[in-house]
Amino acid sequence: MEVILETTAGDKLQVANRSTGNNFIVDVAGGQLRLPNGDAFTFKSEKPIEGITEITATNIDVNTVRVTVVGEKALPAVELFDDDTGLIFAVASKAISAQTPETPTEEKPAEEKPEEQPAAQQDDPIELVVTGEADSYGVPNASTATRTDTPLRDIPQSIQVVPQEVLRDRKVRSVNEAVQTVSGVVDGGTIYGAPSGIKTIRGFTQGFAVGGTENLRNGVPDADYIDIVPIGTIEQVEVLKGPASVLFGGVEPGGVINTITKQPLGEPYYQIAFEAGNYGYYQPSIDLSGPLTADKTVLYRLIAGYEHSNNIQTPFPPIGWKYELQELAQILGKETVSQQLIDRSSQRIEQLKQALGDRRHTLTVSVVATGEGIFWGYGQKHYSGTILEEIGLQRPRSQMGDLFYLENISEEMLSDIDGDVLFFTLWGNRAKTTLDKLQRRPLWQQLNAVQRNQVYFVGEHWHEPDIFAINAILDDLEKYLINSQKNQCDRISCRLGET
């Protein structure tokens, strides 16, 4: 009798066998028993041949199949060998084993020939199919570049995949950590000492998109920084390298990162997890999935989590416009000079307050920057925000509080950063193109500052913390808020063609 464990790809199976009493036990690693429809099952055959009490095959865990052959009176004779289809168990019955020597004996009458031999020879083989994947981090398919589940060997591009097994075994906490194992991908720099979330792929640093960088999610452009994508929702991460990425993602000659999210499952799946670590880190999460209908045509998946951490990195404090000058002066021993500069700037601030009078208590000033396809606002605790606060000017609600930056501003959210006066900073060579497109949209015309004709173009010094930038900001405020009637053509509506 033969018991065949057949793999889907004809892979070699890893076996470990032992015997206990009349039991011959074999543990097969790297697979599970599955029916053709994918359901798990347990095989059991009682008295399949003479001398064998039963043969069982069952899944003892998610990665191991146990085959047990129980002899009737003695340890059964079992041979294991591989062929092209899988692993074969050759089980001999007691009658066949007795006939193995085949030593002719003349005294033995012909009628005493065992009658069981023909029956034993007629026993049909029992075939057990083991389906599963070998222990490997290799992923055969990817959707990046084709947006279909295509084998990597059929895609003429360089694609490296970080599968779920790697994310799980490495205890990855972010997509940023996941791509650290991808060759040719490194961090693209920092912002004020903190990771920027931008990657450099094959020597080319990623560009900005609206609210983030030019990456993909499930093959669709996604502007979020990869650092803020919840890792619990990710099934695998794919990186398409080389200039071919310009055809399938953004205009990125180095490559593009595509995160593949987890999909609903056809079988009920429930997971509750809790992680804890140093610096007050803890993260509870749940992952629920399964069918909503009996025919499994409607599936669902719910993933939720919460993360808390007291990061070891010092957060960027709301230090105000005087801090950097004072710190630099202390290092250079120029405290007296720095205090003189601060006093002059403070005097200018007092003059602005007097010139504005009661208007400063009702005038709402918004500060927005734009780059290549991206908009962000400067919060109340930004350098420029601390100056406006010291003067007493009002800010939009979205730019108030302990806020340094207001990121990920879409065109539909522009009304949230609207004000009586809007100062616009353009970053980079393509910022003007982005602003030109925005000005042709109806949303732009609906802004209060646009209707009041009080949108002004200002330089990048609104982003800088040094004393020269502070005085340049004060120049702009005096120019546009106090002497605006004398400088109509300095407004952005007049100067866009000249910038």
**Mean pLDDT, the chain, as a whole number?**
76
- For the stretch 236-290, pLDDT in tens is 998 888 887 776 655 667 888 888 899 999 999 999 999 888 878 898 999 999 9
The pLDDT, as a whole number, for residue 118 is 46
pLDDT (0 to 100) of residue 300:
95
Identify the pLDDT of residue 264.
94
The residues of the chain that CATH labels 2.170.130.10 are 141-261
Looking at the chain, the whole-number percentage of residues with pLDDT higher than 90 is 8
Grouping H, G, I as helix, E, B as strand and the rest as coil, residue 297 is coil
Residues of the chain with CATH 3.40.50.1980: 323-495
In a 3-state reduction of DSSP, which class is residue 106?
coil
pLDDT score at 288: 95
Looking at residue 39, its amino acid is D
The whole-number pLDDT of residue 151 equals: 74
pLDDT category at 492 given cuts 50, 70, 90 is very low
Q: How far is CA 216 from CA 18, 151, 220, 314, in A?
A: 51, 19, 5, 31
CATH class for the region spanning 141-261: mainly beta
pLDDT at 136: 63
Q: How far apart are CA 179 and CA 317, in angstroms?
A: 30
**pLDDT tens-place string over residues 111-163:** 554 444 444 444 555 556 655 555 567 676 777 666 666 777 777 778 888 88
HSE-CB at 380 with a 13 A cutoff on CA atoms is 16
**Tokens 């998610």 correspond to what residue?**
62
- The predicted pLDDT at position 129 comes to 60
Across residues 348-372, what is the average pLDDT? 87
Percent of the chain with pLDDT over 70: 70
Name 369's bridge partners.
Answer: 376, 425
What are the pLDDT digits (tens) for 309-319? 776 555 555 55
Closest CA to 31 of 90, 88, 86: 86
434-474 pLDDT tens trace: 788 888 888 888 888 888 889 898 888 887 777 888 889 99
State the DSSP string of 193-228.
TEE-S-EEETTEEPPEETTEESEEETTEEE-S-GGG
**Which residues neighbour 460 within 8 Å (Cβ) at sequence distance 6 or greater?**
425, 426, 427
Residue type, 297: T
How far the first Cα of the chain sits from its last, in Å, is: 87
Q: Using CA of residue 427, residue 433, residue 437, residue 439, what is the dihedral sign? A: positive
Specify the CATH superfamily of domain 323-495.
Nitrogenase molybdenum iron protein domain (3.40.50.1980)
Q: Please tell me the distance from the alpha carbon of residue 16 to that of residue 11, in angstroms, as a whole number.
A: 16
Give the 3-state secondary structure of residue 292.
Answer: coil
Helix (H) / strand (E) element for 443: namely: helix 442-445
* pLDDT score of 218: 84
pTM: 0.46
Mean pLDDT of 213-232: 73
